[in-house]
Amino acid sequence: MGQCFSSRTQATPIVAAAESPPLGKLGLEEMAMATGNPIIKVAAVCGSLRKGSFNRGLIRAAVQLCNESVKGMEIDYVDIGDLPFLNTDLEVNGTYPAEVEAFRSRILQADSVLFASPEYNYSVTGPLKNAIDWASRSPNVWQDKPAAIMSAGGAFGGGRSQYHLRQVGVFLDLHFINKPELFVQAFQPPQKFDSEGNLIDPETKERVKNLLLSLYAFTLRLKNTC
C-alpha cells in the first residue's frame, strides 16, 4: 500500500518505580529510553494528500525523532491516498477492497495511532474522514487504541480539526491524550517548514518530541506494562 517510514529501536531497563522521577518531561524521556518495555508500534495517518504537506512533514519529523531520541517507539506511516470512497456496495461477503483490507490491517496491528491533519472548513479533511470510516466498519479496528493529534495550518494551527476529530473519536472508542496539545501556526515566524514541507523549526521539533513521549507513556499505561 503506501510508503512506510519506520524506526526500529531496542528498549533499555526501566528504573524501579520508587526511584523514578515524576512523569514530567524528564520522567517521560527516561521511560522512553528504558529497557524492559516493549516497542510501541504507532500507525501515523496524515489527512493531507499533498506531496509537500506540512502535516506530512510533522510525521516525517516524528519518525526522525524516534530514530534519534524517542527510544522504544516505531512509527509506520500509513498512506490513505489509494483508498476508494466509502461505498458499502464494495463490501462482498464480509470482505473489503484490497486497499481497504491492507489499511485496516495496519491500523489493527498498531498499539496506538498518531494523526496529523490540516483543518478544512472547521473539520477534518475528506480523505481522513474517508479513512476513518473505512476502518470503523465492522469490526472497528480503531477500538480501544491510544491516540495523539498534531496539526499545522493557519492562525489556529488546525485546532478546530483536532476538536472535531476528538468528537469522532468518542464513537470510535479511541483514547486521545489531552496534553500536550500541538497546533503549529505554519505561516507565522519563525519559519516552520522548508519549501518541501520538512519541519525545520527546533522549538516545534521539541514539541513533537514531547507529544511522542506522552503518547508512549499513555500507551504503556493502557497496556498495563508500567
Please count the other Cβ atoms lying within 10 Å of the Cβ belonging to residue 216.
28
Rounded-to-integer distance, Cα 221 and Cα 226, Å: 6
Rounded-to-integer distance, Cα 143 and Cα 120, Å: 25
Neighbouring residues of 153: CB distance < 8 A, sequence distance ≥ 6? 54, 118, 119, 159, 161, 183, 184, 185, 186
The confidence score (pLDDT) of residue 23 equals 44
Pairing of strands 175-176, 73-77: unpaired
Q: Which residues pair with 202 in a beta bridge?
A: none
Q: CA 88 from chain center: how many Å?
A: 27
Q: What is the pLDDT along the chain (226 residues), one digit of tens a residue?
A: 444 444 433 333 333 333 333 344 445 555 555 546 689 999 999 999 999 999 999 999 999 999 998 989 999 999 999 999 999 999 999 899 999 999 999 999 999 999 999 999 999 999 999 999 999 999 999 999 999 999 999 888 888 999 999 999 999 999 999 999 999 999 999 999 999 999 999 999 999 999 999 999 999 999 875 5
